[in-house]
Chain A
Amino acid sequence: MDTNIIFSYFLKKLFEKKGKQIEARVANFLIISSKNVKYVVSILTKAEIIRKLRSEFSFEKEDIEKAWNDFISEVSPDYTQVSQSVEEIYREIISIVLDIPIKKRVTNLEHLIVAKKNNLIFVTGDREIAEKCRKFYEKIWSYNKLRGFYERRNDLKLQKK
């Protein structure tokens, strides 16, 4: 997963703590679907979330650690170790950016390579990656596709009952 989906979880919790009701359908989807879909995060996801919480809102280090632990406990994602070397990851990224003009920064490509090396589906809201990079790795899903997949699976379960 890219960072945006996960960040929605943190925003939902922050609003809830202030007693503010906002529409948090992405975060609710993440929590509910995690009972049936096995999500995976890497150290890169974690680094991005921590960077955002610290830089945008100046939260304390200890509080961020506790919030991350709460996320791990509630959503129960698997944690994939990035065993590839930085050289190896960036060699692949270079081969992509040489072949396709990618306008944005390479963070989402890092996620993509980690997913590819571990044979995982990469769910991203980055349309540029989703549209241009499928020839490098087929298992790239948009948010919409993830939602569609989950809802169809649940429909099948209901039909079986």
Chain B
Amino acid sequence: MSDEKRMLSEKERVEIEKAWERMANKFWKKLEYWKRYNPKKYRKFWRDYRKLEKAFGF
């Protein structure tokens, strides 16, 4: 995993977009799962999210 800043090639860009899509699907399923079966975790996720936005003064 390289941390050097560089321009991504078109091929890399396409691969990255596909990776985001796969992760987003998993992420959404996880959120839905928490909402249904682990509401405590689901509420904590949003509480932490809002807390960060608030800490920035937004």
User: Interface residues of A, CB < 8 Å — how many?
Assistant: 41
A84 to chain B, nearest CB (A): 18
* Interface residue from A13, A23, A25, A79 paired with B20 (Cβ < 8 Å): A13
B5 to chain A, nearest CB (A): 5
B36: Cβ under 8 A from any A Cβ = no
B24 contact set on A, CB distance < 8 A? 13-18
- Give how many A-B residue pairs fall within 8 Å (CB-CB): 94
On chain B, which size bracket covers the interface? 20 to 34
The interface residues of chain B, by DSSP majority, are classed as helix
* Interface residue from B5, B23, B56, B57 paired with A73 (Cβ < 8 Å): B5
Stretch at the interface among A57-65, A104-112, A153-161: A57-65
B37: Cβ under 8 A from any A Cβ = no
- Residue numbers of B with Cβ under 8 A of A are 1-8, 12, 15-16, 19-28, 30, 49, 52-53, 55-58
6 nearest interchain CB pairs? Answer: A17-B24, A66-B19, A63-B19, A25-B58, A79-B3, A14-B27
